[in-house]
């Protein structure tokens, strides 16, 4: 069974926005992901995040501020190096201890390893969101997270994605994700064994910085 877990988080840059946010319930439907069919699980965050953020309604909707086929990100190169080390360390530190994700206790789980194909998939999506000013799991050409992973030649059995926008540093975005139940569950999921991530900045885009985490288990 190939499964795809989709979760979306946005920092709302609205004057007077408090630290609370919206909520959403998980939904499931069948879907194809390049090869084979799978189950698509949308965000199930049951409460808002901190840092002025809120969970989206989980329907993969977002505004499109430009027109492009969305096939390639083009704002520099994937970070790797220090960014990869710091992101992996933060995620594995979270996974190393049991955690309450919105009232559901998630046990400690094994550490992930970094995969550069997953990093590239994350970079393509963050770069497109930043450069074409939209915020959604669905790419400009209609591609889904599983499509972007498959496009990098990664053969997956399970794929998950967290996205966020507006948080200025890694500590802030991790804090937001871990305080949003659905995103926390993705980070704590024992179904995943590898990850990649990217952040891309563009001062002319609505949120300024766009974050993507991609989790997977290879086939």
Contact 19, 179 (CB under 8 A): no
What is the DSSP secondary structure assignment for residue 77, as one 8-state letter?
-
- For residue 182, pLDDT over 80 is answered with yes
Q: Is the per-residue pLDDT at 42 higher than 50? A: no
In the chain, where are the structural domains located?
Answer: 80-218
Residue 143: pLDDT above 60? Answer: yes
8-17 residue pLDDT tens: 554 432 221 2
Cβ–Cβ under 8 Å, residues 41 and 183: no
> pLDDT tens digits for 65-74?
333 333 333 3
Of the candidate ranges 3-12, 16-25, 49-58, 141-150, the one whose mean pLDDT is the lowest: 16-25
CATH number assigned to the domain with residue range 80-218, chosen from the 4 options 3.20.20.140, 3.40.50.970, 3.30.70.1450, 3.40.33.10: 3.40.33.10
- Give residue 81's pLDDT band: very low, low, confident or very high (50, 70, 90): confident
Above 60 in pLDDT, residue 40?
no
Show the tokens assigned to 24: 């959403």
Contacts of 202 (CB under 8 A, 6+ apart): 75, 130, 131, 133, 208, 209, 210
> What is the DSSP code string of 31-60?
EE-SSSEEEEE-----S--STTEEE--SS-
């Amino acid at each position: 069974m190939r499964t795809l877990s989709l979760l979306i988080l946005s920092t709302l840059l609205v004057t007077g926005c408090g630290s609370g946010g919206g909520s959403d319930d998980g939904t499931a439907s069948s879907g194809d992901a390049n090869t084979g069919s799978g189950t698509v699980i949308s965000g199930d965050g049951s409460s808002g995040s901190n840092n002025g953020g809120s969970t989206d309604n989980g329907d993969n909707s977002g505004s499109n501020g430009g027109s492009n086929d969305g096939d390639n990100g083009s704002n520099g190169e994937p970070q790797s190096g220090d960014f990869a080390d710091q992101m992996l360390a933060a995620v594995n530190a979270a996974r190393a201890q049991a955690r309450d994700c919105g009232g559901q206790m998630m046990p400690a789980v094994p550490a992930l390893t970094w995969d550069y194909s997953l990093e590239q998939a994350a970079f393509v999506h963050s770069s497109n969101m930043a450069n074409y000013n939209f915020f959604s799991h669905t790419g400009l050409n209609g591609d889904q997270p599983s499509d972007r992973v498959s496009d990098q030649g990664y053969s997956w059995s399970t794929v998950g994605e967290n996205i966020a926008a507006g948080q200025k540093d890694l500590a802030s975005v991790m804090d937001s994700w871990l305080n949003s139940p659905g995103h926390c569950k993705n980070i704590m999921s024992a179904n995943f064994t590898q990850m990649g991530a990217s952040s891309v900045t563009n001062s002319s885009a609505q949120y300024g910085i766009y974050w993507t985490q991609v989790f997977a288990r290879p086939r």
